[in-house]
Amino acid sequence: MLDYDALAARVASLTEGEDDQVALMATLACEVHHSDDRFDWTGFYRVVAPGLLKIGPYQGGHGCLVIPFERGVCGAAARTGEVQLVPDVEAFPGHIACASSTRSEIVLPVRDAAGEIIAVFDIDSDRPDAFTDADAAGLTRILDATFART
CB 61 within 8 A of CB 41: yes
- Nearest alpha-carbon partner for 119 in 127, 110, 128: 110
Structural domains in the chain (count): 1
What CATH number is attached to the domain comprising 28?
3.30.450.40
Per the structure, the complete domain to which residue 105 belongs is given by 4-147
70-98 pLDDT, tens digit each: 999 999 999 999 999 999 988 887 777 77
Name the residue among 122, 129, 117 with its Cα closest to residue 107.
122
Distances (CA, A) of 55 to 11, 44, 46, 47, 63: 21, 6, 6, 9, 7
pTM: 0.95
Indicate the pairing of strand 117-125 with strand 41-49: antiparallel
pLDDT tens digits for range 103-147: 999 999 999 999 999 999 999 999 999 999 999 999 999 999 999
